Amino acid sequence: MTLARTTPGDFDDVSPTVQRAVPAGFKAVEIGGAFIAANGPLYAKWTGQQLLLGFRVEERHTNPLKICHGGMLATFADMAIPCAAFYQADMASRFLPTISLQVDYMGPAMLGAWVQSEVQILRTTRNMLFGQALVTADGEPALRVSGIFKLGQVIANGERKDPFGVL
């Protein structure tokens, strides 16, 4: 028995025909490091209570079925909680390395979808931050995530209050 081999071109019929815009109020943000820069662009919006982080699924984010790769979604989720903590828990001047991240995949994020996080900071202690998020793709649940982050070193002498310029 011979298994059929697929190539990315085999699924071009599921590609979106038009590039959709970023939702109103979101602005492109730079989140430190070459790894994140290569996986972006990422966008942020401050609602007055929450930092919403998002990205549009591009071809380079997808698997052969034109669905956003789980690794990209996990990377996005791993950034969402610390980024939200910068604004929602006054942690803008701290590095927040991941101690634990639990990801539950709930649905696909197709090529062209707008992926967005909504984060809740649950608790901070002397050494840790606990948070959770719901990540949606075009408004439908794509994953839920919970994480524990270490309260790391102070960045920029504690002066960084609006790291993404969204206030």
Write out the residue range of the structural domain in which residue 147 sits: 33-155
For residue 12, pLDDT beyond 70:
no
Instruction: Report pLDDT digits (tens) over 113-164.
Output: 999 999 999 999 999 999 999 999 999 999 999 999 999 988 877 677 788 8
Q: Is residue 9 part of a domain?
A: no
Q: How many domains does the chain have?
A: 1
CATH number at residue 142: 3.10.129.10
For residue 4, pLDDT beyond 50:
no
Q: Is residue 91 part of a domain?
A: yes
For residue 80, pLDDT beyond 70:
yes
Q: Is residue 95 part of a domain?
A: yes
Q: Is residue 6 part of a domain?
A: no
Note whether 102 and 61 are within 8 A (CB). Answer: no
Q: Is residue 4 part of a domain?
A: no
Q: Is residue 121 part of a domain?
A: yes
